[in-house]
């Protein structure tokens, strides 16, 4: 009898804890990890060495608006720039938006623009669907 009560108690606690982890969002109840996701792009010179670029912009072609993903001024890793984070995932659709990321090499004044497809919205995290990982200047 005592074992049955313990098993019943453990089952009730387990089932109750599942309900507490669900987050209510405009997209409906979601069960997501607490990890923080971001999507970025590396910029390199013609020798393949990372560089700090200027005039870095992110533009959502699908919604026709400029995005401000953050971390533009403070490089975490030389040559790596954040395009999207979970902080601005609602700026992107669930199926993905076409994004133009543009930057200029300060040594040559060459500007490169690449297209990426980024999803967010009702997904748990932002994710890159397609596009380059690295942009190499000539």
Q: Which domain holds residue 101?
A: 35-136
Residue 20: what pLDDT? 44
The contacts of residue 126 (CB under 8 Å, 6+ apart) are 37, 38, 39, 84, 85, 86, 88, 89, 92, 118, 119, 120
pLDDT in tens, 87-101: 989 989 999 999 999
Residue 43 has pLDDT above 90, yes or no: yes
User: Does any domain span residue 18?
Assistant: no
Residue 52: what pLDDT? 92
SS3 letters across the chain: CHHHHHHHHHHHHHHHHHHHCCEEECCEEECCCCCCCEEEEEEECCCCCECCCEEEEEEECCCCEEECCCCCCCCCCCCEEEEEEHHHHHHCCCCCEEEEEEEECCCCCCEEEEEEEEECCCCCCCEEEECCCEEECC
User: Does any domain span residue 6?
Assistant: no
Residue 137: what pLDDT? 95
User: Does any domain span residue 25?
Assistant: no
User: Does any domain span residue 14?
Assistant: no
Q: Do the beta carbons of residue 112 and residue 55 sit within 8 Å?
A: no
Residue 108: what pLDDT? 94
User: Does any domain span residue 11?
Assistant: no
* Mean of pLDDT values over 21-48: 82
User: Does any domain span residue 30?
Assistant: no
User: Does any domain span residue 26?
Assistant: no
Q: How many CA atoms lie within 13 A of 79 on its CB side?
A: 14
User: Does any domain span residue 13?
Assistant: no
Domain total in the chain: 1
Q: What is the pTM of this model?
A: 0.73
């Amino acid at each position: 009898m005592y074992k049955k009560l313990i098993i019943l108690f453990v089952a009730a606690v387990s089932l109750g804890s599942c309900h507490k982890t669900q987050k209510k969002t405009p997209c409906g109840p979601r069960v997501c990890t607490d990890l923080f996701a971001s999507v970025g792009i590396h910029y390199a010179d013609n020798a393949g060495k990372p560089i700090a670029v200027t005039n870095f912009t992110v533009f959502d072609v699908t919604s026709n608006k400029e995005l401000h993903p953050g971390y533009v001024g403070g490089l975490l890793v030389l040559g790596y720039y954040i395009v999207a984070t979970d902080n601005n995932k609602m700026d992107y659709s669930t199926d993905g938006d076409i994004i133009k990321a543009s930057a200029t090499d300060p040594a040559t004044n060459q500007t490169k623009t690449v297209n990426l497809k980024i999803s967010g919205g009702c997904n748990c995290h932002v994710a890159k669907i397609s596009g380059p990982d690295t942009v190499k200047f000539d």
